[in-house]
Structure 1
Amino acid sequence: MRRWCRTGATLVFGTGLGAAVSRLLSARGGEEEEEDGAGLLSRVPVVPVPTVQASELTVSPGGSGAVMKYGFPSLANIKTRESYVTSYDPRTRTASWVIEKLNLASLSGPSDRKFCDFKEDDSIHVFHRSINADYKGSGFDRGHLAAAANHKWSQKAMEDTFYLSNVAPQNPHLNQNTWNNLEKLCRSLTKRYLNVYVCTGPLYLPRQEADGKLYVRYQVIGRNHVAVPTHFFKVLILEQVDGRGVELRSYLLPNEPIDEKVPLERFLVPIETIERASGLLFIPNIMRRTSSLQAITNK
C-alpha cells in the first residue's frame, strides 16, 4: 500500500508563501520519492518498527513515558509532562515541538476541560516565558500544540496541556476550524491504528518580498514578544495493529484563515519538507536510509 500527497498543498498558502514552500519541496533531491504522470508525490508509508522495551508497554494511556519510542526530533530544552514531551524554544516563547501518544484508552476518561485554565510555565525562566497578558487583545488564540481533548484519561494530563509553553499564537479562524478538524482526524485514526504518535510545532517560513528576496519575518505579541508562527506542522506516526510497521503522515498549514471547503489532504507534504524547514529530524530511531527505502519501494 502506498500513500500519496499532492504537491498542490502549496496553492492555499498564497503568493510568496507558496513559492517558498515549493522551493522546499523541490530542493529535496528526489531520492526517497518519485513523481508520477499525474503530478503526485509517492511516499513509502510502512517502515520497520524498532525494538521496544517491555517497560514501554506498561505506561499510563497517553503517558509521556512512551513517546520516546521513536526518538525525539531534537534534544534541546526537553521537558516532560503527564501527557506529552516538549522541546521549548526560549527565544520564541513557544515550543519547538510537542510529542504525544494517542490511543482509544487516552481519549476516554473522567477529565473535564471546564476545570482547566491557561497558566504560566513556572519551570521556565521569567525572561523566557509567555504570560496570559501577552495574548490579551492580540487577535490570536492560545492555540494548543498537544490538544486537551487528546488526554481525557487523566485530569492532570489534560491540565498539563494548558501550560502556556504548550500553546502558540494561532489565527482564531484556523484554530477553531481547519486546525480543530485536523486534531479530530488524529483522534479518529485511533480507531484504525494501535497507537497514533503526534508531533506538533510552529514554523517560521520565508516569504518572497517586493525586492525578489526571501525573508523570514514574523509578528511578536505582548510584553514578552511571543513569536507568531507563519505555519504549523503535524507529523503523525501511525502504528499498525498487527505490529509490523508504521505509516507516516505530515501536514503543513499556514497560520491564517483557510476556506472550510479545502480538504485536509491538500496540506499533506513530504516529511522531509518539514524537516528541512524546521531543522528537526523525525523518527530518528527508525533507519530511513535511501537504499532501504528504495528496497521497500521496489517490492
Structure 2
Amino acid sequence: MHRVFCSRWVVSGVSLAVGIGVGATLTCDRHNKPQDGGLLDRIPIIPIPSVNAASEISPYQPGHIAVNKSTAAMKYGFPSLSNIKTRESYVTSYDPRNRTAAWVIEQLNSETLTGTSDRKNCNFKEDETVHVYHRSNNSDYKGSGFDRGHLAAAANHKWSQKAMDDTFYLSNVSPQNPHLNQNAWNNLEQYCRSLTKHYQNVFVCTGPLYLPRQEPDGKLYVKYQVVGKNHVAVPTHFFKVVILEKPRGDIELRSYVMPNMPVDEKIPLERFLVPIESIERASGLLFVPNIMKRTSSLKAITTGP
C-alpha cells in the first residue's frame, strides 16, 4: 500500500523522500532533465512499471541472528540467489558469464570504517573459489584502459586487514573507466561513508549494469566491450542502492546510477539518483520486497497485532 504525504512516500514504514537536494532519496520527476551538459541524456531511459510491493510480502522468519559482519550485511535479504559467496565483511553474488559480481552488499558504520588496515598491504588476486573457466585474472586488465574498480570499496573495511584484503579479490572488481573510478565514483563512495555520521547503519549494494541504447537503425541493443583473454565484461553503467537505518528503526532508501565513462565530478551526486524500480528492472534484482518483509516483521514485533 502506497501513501503519499506531500513530498515523501511511506511504503509500509519505509521512507522514500522525493526531490532533488542533499536530503533527496528518490526522484519522481521522470520528465525534467538536469542541466548537466547532456551527460545524463546519454543514460538510457528504463521504462518503470507500477509496483505493488505489498502483494509480494511474505512472513519474515527472524530466527537467524547475525553473528559476523558478512551475515549482518544481509539483514535486508538477497537481491538474487545465484552463486552467493561470503567474505569477511561483505556478501556477493558472482556472475560467471561476465566474470564479475552481479552485486555486492556491505554494512557500513563507525566500527567498520575505523582501524589501521592499509591498502598498500593488499594486492589484486584471482578468486580461486571460482572455476578457472569463469574467473578473471590480472592480465585481463593489463593494457585494457580500465581500472580494476572495487564494488565493495577497500576503504569501507578498515576494521580488519583481512576484511580489506578480501575486497581485492577480482570477483569484487569490474572494469571501470579510470576517470569515473578516481573521481565521481570515488565521491559517491566517500559520500556513503559520510552517511554513517547521521545513520545507525548504512547498507550499500553495488553492481554493474548492461543497459540498452538506441542504434542508428532505431532499434535498441545491449552492447558492451569485453577485455582480456577471459572476456571480462565491461559494464555500461554501475549502480548503488543505499539502505539507511535510523536508530528508531526508520528506513530511507537511495539509489544511484552512473555511466561507465568520464563524469564531471562537479556534477552533484543528487543528479544520479534514480527510482529504485529502474535498477530492479534493469538488473533483474529485487530490493523493495526484501525491505518490505524486514520492516513489516519488525513493525509486527514492536507494535503487536
2:82 aligned partner = 76
Secondary structure in structure 2 of the residue aligned to 1:235: strand
1:55 aligned partner = 65
Give the deviation of 1:283 after TM superposition.
4.5
* Percentage of pairs with the same residue: 69
1:197 aligned partner = 203
**Distance of 1:31 and 1:169 partners within structure 2:** 35
Are residues 1:281 and 2:286 paired? yes
1:117 aligned partner = 123
2:181 aligned partner = 175
Q: Residues 99-151 of structure 1: CA distance to partner in whole angstroms, max 9, x if unpaired? A: 00000010001211110000000000000000000000000000000000000
Give the deviation of 1:266 after TM superposition.
0.3
Secondary structure in structure 2 of the residue aligned to 1:286: helix
Give the deviation of 1:259 after TM superposition.
1.3
Secondary structure in structure 1 of the residue aligned to 2:74: helix
Give the deviation of 1:284 after TM superposition.
3.3
Are residues 1:3 and 2:18 paired? yes
Normalising by structure 2, report the TM-score: 0.81
Tell me, yes or no, if the aligned pair for 1:71 and 1:283 is still in contact at 8 Å: no
Runs of 4+ in 1 over 6 A off after TM superposition: none
1:160 aligned partner = 166
Tell me, yes or no, if the aligned pair for 1:204 and 1:230 is still in contact at 8 Å: yes
Secondary structure in structure 2 of the residue aligned to 1:159: helix
Alpha-carbon distance change, 124 to 275 in structure 1, aligned in 2, over 3 angstroms: same
Secondary structure in structure 2 of the residue aligned to 1:285: helix
Amino acid at match of 1:113: R
Of 257-266 and 187-196, deviating more is 257-266
Give the deviation of 1:28 after TM superposition.
2.1
**Distance of 2:202 and 2:62 partners within structure 1:** 16
**Distance of 1:143 and 1:92 partners within structure 2:** 15
1:36 aligned partner = none
Q: What aligned pairs does 1:113-262 form with structure 2 within 5 A after superposition?
A: 113-243=119-249, 245-262=250-267
Tell me, yes or no, if the aligned pair for 1:70 and 1:283 is still in contact at 8 Å: no
Tell me, yes or no, if the aligned pair for 2:103 and 2:206 is still in contact at 8 Å: yes
**Distance of 1:53 and 1:101 partners within structure 2:** 20
Q: What 5-or-longer segments of structure 1 have no aligned partner?
A: 33-49, 289-299
Give the deviation of 1:27 after TM superposition.
3.4
Amino acid at match of 1:3: V
Amino acid at match of 2:39: V
Amino acid at match of 1:164: L
**Distance of 2:51 and 2:91 partners within structure 1:** 32
Normalising by structure 1, report the TM-score: 0.82
Give the deviation of 1:55 after TM superposition.
3.0
2:49 aligned partner = 28
